[in-house]
Amino acid sequence: MLDTLRRIILKVNAAPNLQEALRVIVTQIKAAMGVDVCSVYLADPEREQYVLMATEGYHQHAVRRVTLAFGKGLVSLVAQREEPMNLEDAASHPRYALALETGEDVYRGFLGVPIIQHRRVLGVLVIRKREACKFSDDDETFLVTLAAQLSGAISHADASGEINELLQDRGSERYNLKGLPGAPGVALGRARVLYPPADLKSIPDREVQDVEAEVKRFRAAVLAVQDELRSLSASLASQLPREDLALFDALVLMLGSDSLVNNAVTRIRAGNWAQGALRDTIIEHVALFENVDDAYMRERASDVRDLGQRLLAQLQPQGMEPETAYPRTILVGEEISAGQLAELPSGALVGVISARGSSTSHVAILARALGIPAVMGVEDLPVGRLEGQELIADGYWGRVFVRPSATVREEFQRLEAEEAELTADLHAQVDLPAQTPDGVRVPLLANTGLRSDIAPSLRSGAEGVGLYRTEVPFMIRDRFPGEEEQRRIYRHVLEAFAPRPVILRTLDVGGDKALPYFPIQEDNPFLGWRGIRISLDHPEIFLTQLRAIMKASAGLWNAKLLLPMISGVAEVDAALGLIRRAFNEVVEEGAELDMPEVGVMIEVPSAVYQVEGLARRVDFLSVGTNDLTQYLLAVDRNNARVAPLFDTLHPAVIGALRQVMEGAHRHGKPVSVCGEMAGDPAAALLLLGLGVDSLSMSAASLPRVKWVIRSFTQARARALLEELSGYEDPLAIRARLNDELEQAGLGGLVRPGK
């Protein structure tokens, strides 16, 4: 059974489109299970009906003609109940409805299972037998497993418009995709698809003008890879047995074979560029091998993939050349790195759309810092088909419109203009104090890390830097920067903001922040070696950084230290010991110094429970709500699949924040919030009620939050917090806060438009 299941799944995955995948599945299931009929119905929400999309056993002319209204018939009932229905005699069920076109009048045995993706019923998979019979538990499990497999393909086809195309029987003109809000704002532009240097699957199609030149380019890549393999084989000749070296010969031969090269060349001649032609050829060849029953032959599929990667590396230009950007570029990709944003010529980038990640991914944080809307976690993003397409990105609600209609385009042009007005209004209050109408000052500071963040932060009216992520300059280098190099980097930001304070967070790598030259391989990186744990294990790295910070602050005295990922007081004691040591060393070298203030980040739940012990030891606390939420709710901050569960307005997060404020204030220590929550206007209102002493956020969010602080008294915010303490649902809390902003005339902060 397991083998059959595996074979069917491989075949379905190799199908070039949904229609073919459905056809394969019904044919294979009918044959494997010995039933009389196997059919797939898909939901058409617009017409509120289920449509027969593929069948083996019924008349083929029934395909796409037979429909069952929502709420009618057994298929609908399976979907409604969201569970399998196994009926011995379907005809005697009260919901039984006969569809004559299928010729189904004689079928009695019925097993239907819903096809569900992310809690949404996409369709129903059904098998039938002529005679009355109850299907076995094994049959049921088999069908449920296949339905689960199918759900991914269907949901992808749904997102890409393929289902619509099939249902309508006409070309899909436009469609919408749903992701997660990443950075606020709306953008209209053209898609420039990015792909990681060696990821074949996400290579987009691209038209070529000079076909012969492209063929030549491809053939040159083939020759280069053949050479590469030969020299690889030669260099390993003394270390590997002959049988293993034969692998290289086999690869060289495979490359020399007509089938692979000619196949790709034919595709190039049909108009696709070499990378796109290679992608299709490799996928097709991999499927050929994977579908073979012989285990040895199946293994060859990985050789083909390897060849594909090698050829791609030859074909792929290094990074994106700046001139390839459109005047209004929306970057689109499976996963976009912070560095790729920086590669575009300034002014050309208007939006970001990523299949992975969420609002707390570092690329979203960077987009916010640059004031560019971002939509994250668009799981079904058809990356390969979007190059050059007209797109709209709505970073407030996480929507993407592909080839929008004239009406949608006009609406968003209007909203974009309103957004620009709102931005201008907000900037007009840059020099006004962040003070509530009842006289409470809540200093607003900036989060930075890149040199390019400094100017926008200063322009935004930041009263200092509340979080300088020192790992950022570490991330964009190819080795650890030395003490003097670091001193210069820190000096630059300290000078730019002096006499305003700059809180430099010590190195926080690990988790989702990797240094290319310091790889960390772990099964659970977020629960592993990261932040202060690395610094304490490598005092040589930590001390160098501390000395560089202290020296950088000479004569300015505006640097403060912040320790990331503290999970207990022992770590603070150890870190303070090293800070004192660095201080003494620098003083001994003759520098005139004051000991900098030291704070800890509260971003691990254990720190919340030890807040008083921590507050006694340090000068200030800063809550990292990105990690705190991740750890409190057990929701990976970068995993789009669980992103709807990541909510900083969860009552548990609010409860933790309350405990931190009370504990720290009992010891007279101020609390700041420097996670993304601080830049969320609705959350800022809540934080004001909680009595936060300062907030630190990206420059783009700062004017928005200042408007909130200047519009609400702390008394009002406290009353609202009191009211919300009875709420249990994060969504209801957000709705209430948004409503409060709307009523005060600040609705433009939480939705598109003014």
Q: What residues are annotated to the active site?
A: 362, 674
Stretch that binds ligand PEP, among 172-180, 182-190, 348-356, 624-632 (CB under 6 A): 624-632
Residue corresponding to tokens 């049959």: 139
Do the beta carbons of residue 280 and residue 293 sit within 8 Å? no
Residue among 525 and 753 whose Cβ is closer to ligand PEP: 525
Q: Which of residues 207-236 bind ligand PEP (CB under 6 A)?
A: none
Residue count at the site for ligand PEP (CB under 6 A)? 10
C-alpha 223/C-alpha 544 separation (Å) is 48
Stretch that binds ligand PEP, among 32-40, 171-179, 545-553, 620-628 (CB under 6 A): 620-628
Q: Which of 520, 531, 532, 511 has the alpha carbon at shortest distance from 578?
A: 532
Stretch that binds ligand PEP, among 552-560, 576-584, 604-612, 623-631 (CB under 6 A): 623-631
Do the beta carbons of residue 176 and residue 397 sit within 8 Å? no
The single-letter code of the amino acid at 718 is R
For the bound state, the minimum distance from the C-beta of residue 655 to ligand PEP, rounded and expressed in Å, comes to 17
Residue 470 is a binding residue for ligand PEP (CB under 6 A): no
- Contact residue for ligand PEP among 368, 399, 469, 487 (CB under 6 A): 469
- Contact residue for ligand PEP among 56, 104, 139, 627 (CB under 6 A): 627
Residue among 67 and 447 whose Cβ is closer to Mg ion: 447
- Contact residue for ligand PEP among 603, 636, 680, 693 (CB under 6 A): 603
For the bound state, the minimum distance from the C-beta of residue 308 to Mg ion, rounded and expressed in Å, comes to 37
> Exposed, middle or buried: residue 564 (CB in 10 Å: 0-12, 13-18, 19+)?
buried
Cβ-proximal residues to 90 (8 Å cutoff; 6+ apart), any chain: 74, 96, 107, 108, 109, 110, 128
DSSP secondary structure string for all residues of 139-174: HHHHHHHHHHHHHHHHHHHHHTTHHHHHHHTS----
Choose among ligand PEP, Mg ion, none what residue 674 binds, the Cβ cut-off being 5 to 8 Å by kind. ligand PEP
Residue corresponding to tokens 């060859």: 300
Helix orientation angle between 539-552 and 569-588, rounded to the nearest 10 degrees = 60
Residue among 464 and 624 whose Cβ is closer to Mg ion: 624
Residue among 215 and 467 whose Cβ is closer to ligand PEP: 467
For the bound state, the minimum distance from the C-beta of residue 194 to ligand PEP, rounded and expressed in Å, comes to 23
Q: Which of residues 625-684 bind Mg ion (CB under 5 A)?
A: 627
For the bound state, the minimum distance from the C-beta of residue 500 to ligand PEP, rounded and expressed in Å, comes to 19
Do the beta carbons of residue 657 and residue 687 sit within 8 Å? yes
- Contact residue for ligand PEP among 624, 679, 681, 748 (CB under 6 A): 624
Tokens representing residue 278 in the block? 């290679």
C-alpha 109/C-alpha 35 separation (Å) is 9
Residue among 260 and 643 whose Cβ is closer to ligand PEP: 643
- What pairs with residue 469 in β-bridges? 505
Residue corresponding to tokens 């969504």: 731
- Contact residue for ligand PEP among 202, 626, 698, 701 (CB under 6 A): 626
> Exposed, middle or buried: residue 396 (CB in 10 Å: 0-12, 13-18, 19+)?
buried
For the bound state, the minimum distance from the C-beta of residue 572 to ligand PEP, rounded and expressed in Å, comes to 17
C-alpha 677/C-alpha 685 separation (Å) is 11
Q: Which of residues 501-530 bind ligand PEP (CB under 6 A)?
A: 508
Stretch that binds ligand PEP, among 74-82, 370-378, 433-441, 625-633 (CB under 6 A): 625-633
Stretch that binds ligand PEP, among 77-85, 149-157, 431-439, 619-627 (CB under 6 A): 619-627
Residue among 36 and 627 whose Cβ is closer to ligand PEP: 627
For the bound state, the minimum distance from the C-beta of residue 531 to Mg ion, rounded and expressed in Å, comes to 7
Residue among 623 and 705 whose Cβ is closer to Mg ion: 623
Residue 675 is a binding residue for ligand PEP (CB under 6 A): yes
Residue 625 is a binding residue for ligand PEP (CB under 6 A): yes
* Backbone region of residue 388 per phi and psi (left: phi > 0; alpha: psi in -120 to 50; beta: other values): left
Stretch that binds ligand PEP, among 157-165, 388-396, 568-576, 618-626 (CB under 6 A): 618-626
Choose among Mg ion, ligand PEP, none what residue 625 binds, the Cβ cut-off being 5 to 8 Å by kind. ligand PEP
Stretch that binds ligand PEP, among 479-487, 516-524, 569-577, 622-630 (CB under 6 A): 622-630
Q: Which of residues 235-274 bind Mg ion (CB under 5 A)?
A: none
* Backbone region of residue 118 per phi and psi (left: phi > 0; alpha: psi in -120 to 50; beta: other values): left
Do the beta carbons of residue 358 and residue 173 sit within 8 Å? no
For the bound state, the minimum distance from the C-beta of residue 515 to ligand PEP, rounded and expressed in Å, comes to 14
Residue 473 is a binding residue for ligand PEP (CB under 6 A): no
Q: Degrees (nearest 5) of the Cα angle 477, 483, 486?
A: 50
Q: Which of residues 570-629 bind Mg ion (CB under 5 A)?
A: 603, 624, 627
For the bound state, the minimum distance from the C-beta of residue 525 to ligand PEP, rounded and expressed in Å, comes to 12
The single-letter code of the amino acid at 5 is L
What b-and-e string marks burial along 321-360, b requiring 16 or more CB atoms within 10 Å of the CB? eeeebeebbbbbbbbbbbebbeebeeebbbbbbbbbbbbb
C-alpha 268/C-alpha 273 separation (Å) is 6
For the bound state, the minimum distance from the C-beta of residue 248 to ligand PEP, rounded and expressed in Å, comes to 44
Residue among 469 and 716 whose Cβ is closer to ligand PEP: 469
Residue among 122 and 365 whose Cβ is closer to ligand PEP: 365
Residue among 674 and 721 whose Cβ is closer to ligand PEP: 674
Residue among 379 and 508 whose Cβ is closer to ligand PEP: 508
Tokens representing residue 723 in the block? 């009211």
- Element holding 696 (H helix, E strand): strand 694-697
For the bound state, the minimum distance from the C-beta of residue 636 to ligand PEP, rounded and expressed in Å, comes to 13
C-alpha 476/C-alpha 470 separation (Å) is 11
Task: Note the helical H segments in 270-337.
Answer: 274-290, 295-315
The single-letter code of the amino acid at 144 is V
Choose among ligand PEP, Mg ion, none what residue 301 binds, the Cβ cut-off being 5 to 8 Å by kind. none
- Contact residue for ligand PEP among 277, 674, 700, 708 (CB under 6 A): 674
Residue 311 is a binding residue for ligand PEP (CB under 6 A): no
Tokens representing residue 524 in the block? 């659970």
- Element holding 427 (H helix, E strand): helix 406-427
Binding stretches for Mg ion (CB under 5 A): 603, 624, 627
Which residues would be at the binding site for ligand PEP (CB under 6 A)?
467, 469, 508, 603, 624-627, 674-675
